[in-house]
Amino acid sequence: MKEALSVELVTMLMEEWHCDMEQALEMFYNSDTFDRLSNSSTGLYYQSAGYIYDYLHNELVSGKMA
């Protein structure tokens, strides 16, 4: 489940930020959003890719989690 979400999120990054896969993976794996998604106790992985992407996008734009 987390892996499928990761694929969707990286694809969204590539499309919105016009970057290649390597850059999108780096952005994603170095984010607080990824840390929270990886932590089962947060329950973030139960949310939709669009919902999680909003968090990721806000983090990348503002430099911090919402």
Whether the Cβ atoms of residue 55 and residue 33 lie closer than 8 Å to each other:
yes
**How does pLDDT run along the chain (66 residues), one tens digit per residue?**
789 999 999 999 999 999 999 999 999 999 999 999 999 999 999 999 999 999 999 999 998 654
The pLDDT of residue 2 is 85
Q: Where are the domains of the chain?
A: 2-62
Whether the Cβ atoms of residue 9 and residue 52 lie closer than 8 Å to each other:
yes
* pTM of this prediction exceeds 0.75: yes
The pLDDT of residue 39 is 95
- Find the distance separating the first CA and the last CA of the chain, reported in whole Å: 23
Number of H helices, E strands in the chain: 4, 0
